[in-house]
């Protein structure tokens, strides 16, 4: 299984960038949504990696964010 990683970077002015690696399909959005909500503020933009457009694996579909 490929390693799944969520990287959170907060710059000097407080801008937050969240990057997800090793997750295919829309599961990456599901993983970051609770974090985005907890941080508050307004979503400025969202961009997708090539992994977003790949089919999710069966194992990813079974995972849920607790």
Closest CA to 46 of 36, 58, 59: 36
**pTM exceeds 0.75, yes or no:** no
Q: Which residue has the tokens 């974090």?
A: 35
Is 61 a member of any domain? Answer: no
Is 34 a member of any domain? Answer: yes
Written as six digits, the tokens of 22 are: 């090793």
Output the CA–CA distances (angstroms, integers) from residue 61 to 2, 27, 65, in the order listed. 15, 8, 11
Is 64 a member of any domain? Answer: no
Is 21 a member of any domain? Answer: yes
- DSSP state, 2? P
Q: What is the pLDDT of residue 1?
A: 56
* Domain count along the chain: 1
Would you give per-residue pLDDT tens digits along the chain (66 residues)? 578 899 999 999 999 999 999 998 888 898 899 999 998 888 889 999 898 898 776 555 545 444
Closest CA to 60 of 33, 26, 35: 26
Is 15 a member of any domain? Answer: yes
Is 13 a member of any domain? Answer: yes
Is 45 a member of any domain? Answer: yes
Domain limits for position 46? 5-54
């Amino acid at each position: 299984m490929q390693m799944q990683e969520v990287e959170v970077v907060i710059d000097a002015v407080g801008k937050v960038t969240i990057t997800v690696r090793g997750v295919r399909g829309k599961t990456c959005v599901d993983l970051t949504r609770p974090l985005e909500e907890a941080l508050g503020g307004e979503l400025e933009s969202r961009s997708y990696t090539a992994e977003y457009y790949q089919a999710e694996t069966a194992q990813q579909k079974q995972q849920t964010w607790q």
